[in-house]
Amino acid sequence: MPKSVTRSWVWPVVAVVLGCAPPVLTALLMGVDGIPQHASSVIAGAGGPLGALAYTLIAGPLSEEFGWRGYVQPRLRRYYGRIVVTVVIGAAWGLWHVPLFFLDGTGQHDKGLVSQQGLLFFLGLFPLTYTILFVSERLGGGVWAAVLLHAAWNLSEQLVPPLSSTGLWLEFFLITLTAVTVGLIWRRGVAEREDEVSSR
Q: DSSP states of 16-84 as a string?
A: HHHHHHHHHHHHHHTT-S-HHHHHHHHHHHTTSHHHHHHHHHIIIIIHHHHHIIIIIHHHHTTTS-HHH
Q: Give the pLDDT score at 1.
A: 46
Question: Which of 169, 167, 86, 95 minimizes the C-alpha distance to 131?
Answer: 86
Q: What is the pLDDT of residue 5?
A: 81
pLDDT at 200: 54
Task: State which residues of the chain have pLDDT below 50.
Answer: 1-2
Q: What is the pTM of this model?
A: 0.91
Q: What is the rounded distance in angstroms from the CA atom of residue 174 to the CA atom of residue 184?
A: 15
Torsional sign, CA 169, 171, 172, 176: positive
Label residue 26 exposed, middle or buried (CB < 10 Å: 0-12, 13-18, 19+). buried
Residue-wise pLDDT tens digits, 56-115: 999 889 999 999 999 999 999 999 999 999 999 999 999 999 999 999 988 888 899 989
The percent helix, strand, coil of the chain (3-state, each to 5) is 80, 0, 20
Q: How far is CA 35 from the centre of its chain?
A: 21
Q: Is 48 left (phi over 0), alpha (psi -120 to 50) or beta?
A: left
Sign for the CA dihedral angle at 105, 108, 111, 115 comes to negative
Burial of 169: CB neighbours in 10 Å, binned 0-12, 13-18, 19+? middle
What gap in Å lies between CA 122 and CA 64, rounded to an integer?
16
